[in-house]
Amino acid sequence: MSDETDACTAYLVKVELAAPWEPALQPVWSDETGCWCTSDHWVFRYDYGSSRLRKVFRLPRKSHNLAGRIKDAVARSWLRRRFAPGVGIDTLVQLASGVLVAMYDQVYWYSPGQHCGEARGLPFVGQPALASPLRGGAAVHDISQCVYFGEYLNGHLCDVRVARVDLTRQSVEVCWTFSRSDIKHVHAIHYDRFRNRLWICTGDLDHESVIWYTDDEFQSVHRFSGGDQTWRAIAMLFDETGMEWGMDAGKDAPADAINRLFRYDFNSSRRCEKAVVGNPVYAACPTETANIALIQTTFEPGRHQATPEATAIWLRNATGRWQQLYELRYRSRRKSWCGRYGALLLPRGTTPVGRLLATPANTELHNGQMLVLSYQPAGAKA
């Protein structure tokens, strides 16, 4: 067992509702000044400085005739989102230009300088239609500014495709295909700015649990390592000397597959355990300060592991040690808007130190309400 969580600093956490009037609001992409958030087909911008939320744009209507407009108005209404919410847009990335790309029933893009309140669709001409990525599973390549995501499928026998979104060509195309004999689905793609590399996380069985990489934007793909549940990952973090990830061993994993955080050091080519977190790690968010980062664990009902019936956020402090920061007990919601798992939904991107947006799902407290978590070491001046 790791001792990396020993002698950690105590933190005080202040919890506030970010927008109590806005139902099923979730943070999806953060930067140093604000966070893009979604509810159903709507996209909002939350400003960290003013703590204000404003509605920016929406996905386009499927039909513009009278019947289609009435149907859309009912489906997008506040009452519908309050009492019968859907998952909505859960994967969105921001390019360096400020343009946003969202994955939903298809790929959409929104340019603040070109579009007025409504995104535009980018068609995919291949067959069959592309499956959506897992929540937050897309990445932007810093150099090319292309967006990459992999298909997240269950109960299938199909090969699994990776898609490239290239706005300079207004195109969505398949750039790589994994054999179904190698993987079940793609969990996430991550861009590593320290190595100019894209990493691909796949699962779920031992032989499917692999971390792959490409240095040429999917002209070639290489297997880094894998073969057991310790390499079954969704969330990853990167720095100058290494990378860290959390296990995603869920309810289909054996009882002894207790989820842990790992670090791989590129200088020594060695992997070490950093912390035992218990439940599967679904998301990670670095901060604007080196070393400090956050991850989120999800509770899966029916799991075989002896783990807490709760979802939690863990903090990596400036010394590199991990500790639990915040926890909410699980409570199944009959009309849950995002499945049966207990989670604290985090954004991708980068979040300011000391502040984090998160939306609880299937929890005893704050279910479906986006929270502002403000944290600081105990004894520090506010």
Query: What is the full per-residue pLDDT of the chain (382 aa) written as tens digits?
Result: 344 444 568 899 999 999 998 888 999 999 999 999 999 999 999 999 999 999 999 999 887 787 878 787 877 777 777 777 777 899 999 999 999 999 999 999 999 989 989 999 999 998 999 999 999 999 999 999 999 999 999 999 999 999 999 999 999 999 999 999 999 999 999 999 999 999 999 999 999 999 999 999 999 999 999 999 999 999 999 999 999 999 999 999 999 999 999 999 999 999 999 999 999 999 999 999 878 999 999 999 999 999 999 999 999 998 999 999 999 999 998 766 678 999 999 999 999 999 999 999 999 999 999 999 999 988 776 5
DSSP letter at 79 equals H
Instruction: Give domain status of residue 40, yes or no.
Output: yes
- Torsion sign over Cα 193, 197, 203, 206: negative
Please tell me whether the peptide bond between 128 and the residue prior to it is cis, using omega within 30 degrees of 0.
Answer: yes
pLDDT of residue 111: 96
Residue 344 half-sphere exposure, CB side, CA atoms within 13 Å? 27
Number of structural domains in the chain: 1
- Domain residues for the domain of 279 are 11-377
Tell me the whole-structure pTM to 2 decimals: 0.94
Instruction: Give domain status of residue 3, yes or no.
Output: no
Instruction: Give domain status of residue 34, yes or no.
Output: yes
Q: What CATH number is attached to the domain comprising 291?
A: 2.130.10.10
Give the CA angle between residues 18, 22, 28 to the nearest 5°.
Answer: 65
Residue type at 203?
G
pLDDT of residue 79: 78
pLDDT of residue 1: 39
Classify burial at 360, counting beta carbons within 10 Å of its beta carbon; exposed 0-12, middle 13-18, buried 19 or more: buried
Instruction: Give domain status of residue 382, yes or no.
Output: no
pLDDT of residue 5: 45
Across the beta sheet with 222-226, the strand order is 185-192, 197-203, 210-214, 222-226
Instruction: Give domain status of residue 43, yes or no.
Output: yes
Instruction: Give domain status of residue 197, yes or no.
Output: yes
